[in-house]
Amino acid sequence: RVTGYVLGLGSPPEGRELKAVLRVLDAVPVFPPAMIPLFRWTADYYHHPLGEVIETALPGGLTVADAASCRLTDAGRAALVAGEGDDAERRVLALLEAGPRSERALRRAAGPAAKALRALERRGCIERQPLLRGGSAGPRRERWARAIAAAEPAQGLSAKKQTVMDELARAGELPVRALERCVPRAGAHLRALREAGLVDLFERHAYRDPFGEAIVPDAPPVLTADQERVAGELTAALGGGFRTFLLNGVTGSGKTEVYMRVAARALDEGRSVLVLVPEIALISQMERRFRARFGECVAVLHSGLSEGERFDQWGRVLRGEVRIAIGARSAVFAPFEDLSLVIVDEEHDGSYKQEGGLHYNARDLALVRARQLGAVALLGSATPSLQALHAVRAGRYRELVMPHRIEARPLPEVSVVDLRACRDLRGPGRFISAELNRAMAETLERGEQVLLFLNRRGYASSPVCAACGAALRCRHCDISLTLHQALNAYVCHYCGESRPATAVCDRCGSAAIKKLGLGTEKVEAAVRAFFPAARVVRMDRDTTRRKGDILSILKALRAREIDVLVGTQMVAKGHDFPDITLVGIICADLSLSFPDFRAGERTFQLLAQVAGRAGRGERPGRVILQTYTPGHFSIQAARDQDVAAFYDQEIGFRRALGYPPFARLAQLRVADRERGQARAAAADLAERCRAAAAADASSHGLEVLGPVEAALARVAGMYRWQILLKSRGSGPLHRVLERLLADRPQLLAGTAPRVVLDVDPLVFT
Ligand code: ADP
Ligand code: ZN
Ligand code: ZN
């Protein structure tokens, strides 16, 4: 049983028997016809099955394939009796003994069981069957009350009833549940008030607000001259057909205000607006500002929502109840029909790229959507991608520049500290230099806030045996384990393998392990040691695992309950904290060493963004940038916050090496459990690519590079190889891929070897 989507009617293909429809799952279509060309484009461009594209686009509650039922096989029963397998596997087997269960129920009962399920399935101990399920996540309804305007104010009400009436008079309408929070048994009082003709009770869809904060409406401020000019040009372009703008505005120049002003115009014209933002943490900020301005007509879509919440938000867009949707990458598929404005905030951000499943880039798809619907596409960033700047130079995008911060606040002053001078120091002085230490002391003294940035989590990222010098490595990946003190364990950041912190050296058995290598936990510990009175909080993936964690950290920061925030790139993005006046970049070089032609670009963007967090309020900001390579141009451009200087240097390298934006890339990744199989499969595939290229006269200039072993040659027990296809235009690239896939239609569906196609890849490890 599979789910299918009806895109139109036609006659059955000659000589093929169609299967019967078991059940129609939706009473009304779940996406408008205007989405179909986008689905088709996506399927063609990423060489991905159309049905799976649609499934990726729809909110989880609407699809049925994500739920599977598992049952025990005879082999599984035997394994259970024999007590085979590890702990997790035995737990799963024991649960299934009582009868089949859904995967979801197993995960709930047996903890993180995905790996165990895969292993058991491979050994034939369990069988999985898709479970047919539909509409489980329907919208909830909630009871609301409103006061009926009476000629005479009611007399002689009890105190409780009077409170209810007062609340209603103040708010107009309220959910009964909200009233119950201030008046016990409000429900009974409301019924009595309805009998008396004073109150009206009714039902409404209950939209589960993701953050549940009270949002105070705001009035639009008077625009600055820069904002006025930019917003004017953008609003004039609305309704005039597809056009792409790049809003290149320094951090704190008021880009969000421009977005809202142009969006307001689109709404006035009766059209809809899509706003994409990179990260979940950021959505709360963008959402809050849009909600404050536009109230209830905003929907929010991102993967941090529960299935039911996403379903609700999707439905509101589909029914036309909201005209603005804000979300992370999957929101690019929000079911609008009449968009006149598509905004991509922080367009340079790598998190628009989906890795795994359908490998799409939401930033690029946003432009495709805008083109298909004749909408204005507005890309915004303080550190635009090289690709966008190049498109501006080539005349494809129109660039709008906002070079100044609001209220002429100065950009922060950046000092570079050469970490090589601290190399011989012992202890935390190695990575918190004297300059940084002094600046922190001064800032804390003044009662202001400090942000410390290091793009690596954990305590020690390269533990080494003190006796024999061997690194403590993951057994399944070609990578060091990272010590996490909070977990009291060594953890592999790629496959999740963990070992107790008491683990001994694999080679010599010594228990003396040196905690080398830096991570946010170690920085946090150092800050506590240097500044015992400071309130220190760490924000990285480890401290924000639960829903709401990020938001509560951001709230505490805003409420000045935090003096020093230590974090990974999570803290770098888009937040607006007026009281942070010092930003310390602990080690600027980490991302430079990545085996990736975009390493310089990413480093520049990340550093300039982090630096931009300083001095956004009334007091000027300061940045201390620590680095081992102070002469690198990415670091110098970040110090000067000079996008143009960075562009001029970097574009020369790209041109010389023939990398994007001067070429299009597609990567084929091959993985297998057997070392030899992986290599052989990759060699065979590269041969096929070369043959496909040779068979196509128009693919002249297309290069097939590889196969090469991946920089991370083994992850989670899989040996990994890569092939890179590179050509000047995208036409030849796609024709060769089509030919390759026509030749081997099951190429991307296999598991041994597993082959993944990544069009416009961003990650090369
Ligand atoms: P960006 O997105 O470019 O980093 P923001 O839109 O966050 O900048 O603006 C920075 C700060 O300036 C915010 O606190 C915002 O409320 C404020 N701001 C923006 N535009 C104006 C304006 N025209 N007048 C006064 N304050 C403004
Ligand atoms: Zn050893
Ligand atoms: Zn691992």
Convert the pLDDT of each residue in 84-110 to its tens digit. 888 888 888 888 887 778 777 777 776
Residue 442's pLDDT is 96
At 18-31, the pLDDT tens digits run 888 888 877 778 89
Candidates 71, 35, 73, 25; CA nearest to 56 is 35
Six-digit token pair at 524?
Answer: 């946090």
pLDDT surpasses 50 at 726: yes
pLDDT surpasses 60 at 134: no
Instruction: Measure the CA–CA gap between 253 and 405, rounded to whole angstroms.
Output: 4
At 604-657, the pLDDT tens digits run 998 888 888 887 777 888 999 999 999 999 999 999 888 999 999 999 999 998
- Least trusted range by pLDDT, from 89-93, 311-315, 612-616, 683-687: 612-616
Note residues around ion ligand 2 (Cβ under 5 angstroms): 465, 467-468, 470, 505, 507-508, 510
Main-chain phi, psi angles of 747, to 5 degrees: -50, -45
**Mean pLDDT of all residues in 373-377:** 97
6 three-class SS: coil
686 three-class SS: helix
**Residue 574 CA: which ligand 1 atom is closest?**
4
Six-digit token pair at 99?
Answer: 């009868």
Q: Exposed (0-12), middle (13-18) or buried (19+): which is 595, by Cβ within 10 Å?
A: exposed
The answer to whether residues 99 and 72 touch, using CB atoms and an 8 Å cutoff, is no
**Residue 314: CA count within 13 A, CB half-sphere:** 27
**Residue 255 CA: which ligand 1 atom is closest?**
3
pLDDT surpasses 80 at 598: yes
Instruction: Measure the CA–CA gap between 375 and 338, rounded to whole angstroms.
Output: 9
Instruction: Measure the CA–CA gap between 329 and 255, rounded to whole angstroms.
Output: 20
Angle, helices 643-657/386-393, rounded to nearest 10 degrees: 90
Q: Exposed (0-12), middle (13-18) or buried (19+): which is 619, by Cβ within 10 Å?
A: middle
Candidates 319, 321, 345; CA nearest to 332 is 345
pLDDT surpasses 80 at 317: yes
In percent, the amount of the chain with pLDDT more than 70 equals 93
Instruction: Measure the CA–CA gap between 270 and 285, rounded to whole angstroms.
Output: 25
Secondary structure in 3-state letters for 486-537: CCCEEECCCCCCEEECCCCCCCCCCCCEECCCCCHHHHHHHHHHHCCCCCEE
**Mean pLDDT of all residues in 133-158:** 68
Q: Which residue has the higher pLDDT, 483 or 82?
A: 483
**Residue 251 CA: which ligand 1 atom is closest?**
4
Instruction: Measure the CA–CA gap between 396 and 398, rounded to whole angstroms.
Output: 7
pLDDT surpasses 50 at 258: yes
For 409, residues 6+ apart whose C-beta sits below 8 A from its C-beta are: 252, 615, 616, 618, 620
Which of 256, 260, 641 for a ligand 1 pocket mutation test, highest count of atoms within 8 Å of Cβ? Answer: 256
Six-digit token pair at 546?
Answer: 């639960």
For 733, residues 6+ apart whose C-beta sits below 8 A from its C-beta are: 664, 665, 666, 702, 725, 726, 727, 759
Q: Which band of pLDDT confidence, cut at 50, 70 and 90, is reported for residue 65?
A: very low
Instruction: Measure the CA–CA gap between 757 and 754, rounded to whole angstroms.
Output: 10
Q: Which band of pLDDT confidence, cut at 50, 70 and 90, is reported for residue 262?
A: very high
Residue 22's pLDDT is 82
Tell me if the bond preceding 707 is cis, omega within 30° of 0: yes
The reported pTM is: 0.80
- Ligand 1 and 226: CB distance under 6 A: no
Q: Edge to edge, what strands does the sheet with 718-727 contain?
A: 703-715, 718-727, 664-672, 754-759
- Ligand 1 and 224: CB distance under 6 A: yes
The answer to whether residues 492 and 474 touch, using CB atoms and an 8 Å cutoff, is yes
Q: What's the chain's length in residues? A: 765
Residue 211's pLDDT is 47
Most confident of 112-121, 408-417, 450-459: 450-459
Strands 449-453 vs 564-567: parallel, antiparallel or unpaired? parallel
| CA 286 / ligand 3 centre spacing (Å) | 36
- Ligand 1 and 243: CB distance under 6 A: no
In percent, the amount of the chain with pLDDT more than 90 equals 48
Instruction: Measure the CA–CA gap between 366 and 372, rounded to whole angstroms.
Output: 10
pLDDT surpasses 50 at 66: no
pLDDT surpasses 60 at 131: no
Residue 369's pLDDT is 97
**Mean pLDDT of all residues in 490-510:** 90
Most confident of 92-96, 111-115, 385-389, 695-699: 385-389
| CA 497 / ligand 3 centre spacing (Å) | 5
Residue 210's pLDDT is 46
Compute the mean pLDDT over every residue in the chain, rounded to the nearest whole number: 87
DSSP 594-661: SSSTTHHHHHHHHHHHHHTTTT-SSS--EEEEEES-TT-HHHHHHHHT-HHHHHHHHHHHHHHHT-TT
Residue 205's pLDDT is 58
Instruction: Measure the CA–CA gap between 287 and 309, rounded to whole angstroms.
Output: 15
Q: Which band of pLDDT confidence, cut at 50, 70 and 90, is reported for residue 433?
A: very high
Bridge partners of 484, per DSSP, are: 489
DSSP 10-77: -PPPTT-PPPPP-----SS-SS-GGGHHHHHHHHHHTT--HHHHHHHHS-GGG-STT-EEEEE-HHHH
For 118, residues 6+ apart whose C-beta sits below 8 A from its C-beta are: none
pLDDT surpasses 50 at 132: no
The protein residue whose alpha carbon is closest to atom 4 in ligand 1 is 252
DSSP 418-454: EGGGGTT--GGGGTS-HHHHHHHHHHHHTT-EEEEE-
Instruction: Measure the CA–CA gap between 490 and 496, rounded to whole angstroms.
Output: 10
Main-chain phi, psi angles of 198, to 5 degrees: -100, -20
**Mean pLDDT of all residues in 359-370:** 97
| CA 475 / ligand 3 centre spacing (Å) | 6
Bridge partners of 272, per DSSP, are: 339
**Mean pLDDT of all residues in 389-406:** 95
Residue 466's pLDDT is 92
The answer to whether residues 250 and 411 touch, using CB atoms and an 8 Å cutoff, is yes
pLDDT surpasses 60 at 741: yes
Tell me if the bond preceding 661 is cis, omega within 30° of 0: yes
